Amino acid sequence: MKRRLTGHKVTKSQSHKIKTFFATCVLVSLCPCVLCMAQPVSSTELINNAKHYDGSAVSYSGEVIGDIMARKEYAWINVNDGKNAIGIWIKKELIRDILYTGSYKAKGDLVEITGKFNRACIEHGGDLDIHAQSIMKIGSGGRLSHSVDKTEIYLLGLTGLLTLACFLANMARSARNIPPNP
């Protein structure tokens, strides 16, 4: 025995709209999962097998290096996985958590990028790149301090003293060979 809870009859048109609405909700909720299932790849794999990965969703991890280059609402970042660096085209709002980029003075933040790999991006002059749809910071960078070994300082000082001694000895030898002025 069926009972109606609402007290009014649902037409076929309304039933179809409800089913379409729920089907759309399910599909939209699954879209992020497709990106989550992007296969993790190394820069070497991407470079050596660029034709295979062209247009595919990929996951790529590494250290953010160099400068962040802002271009209107997007930015370029370079991510190095220890072997090579890949250019990443990303919305500026997604990189707000990047505090450090790798350089002599700092170790860059570690990130995992998910996006579309382009073997020869038409939008960016034929360059190999990844158009990021998401970024996750998986490690923090920080400032680096470089200590100088005392041995290096002593060797540098000794080299300077020897250079100065040779220069002075050469000047003294040259002064003895100059004829007197008339």
Nearest residue to 41 via CA among 77, 97, 102, 86 = 86
- DSSP per residue, 42-66: -HHHHHHTHHHHTT-EEEEEEEEEE
Longest CA–CA span in the chain (Å) reads 135
* Positive or negative torsion for Cα 85, 89, 92, 96: negative
Fold designation for 39-143: OB fold (Dihydrolipoamide Acetyltransferase, E2P) (2.40.50)
Q: Hey, where are the domains in the chain?
A: 39-143
**Who's near 161: CB < 8 A, 6+ residues apart?**
none
Tens digits of pLDDT across the chain (182 residues): 454 445 556 566 666 666 666 656 555 555 554 444 566 899 999 999 999 999 999 999 999 999 999 999 999 999 999 999 999 999 999 999 999 999 999 999 999 999 999 999 999 999 999 999 999 999 999 999 988 788 888 888 889 999 998 888 888 877 777 665 66
Per DSSP, 37 falls in state: T
Written as one string, the DSSP assignment of 107-169 is EPPEEEEEEEEEEEETTTTTEEEEEEEEEEEEE--EE---PPPHHHHHHHHHHHHHHHHHHHH
Alpha-carbon 127 to chain mean position = 15
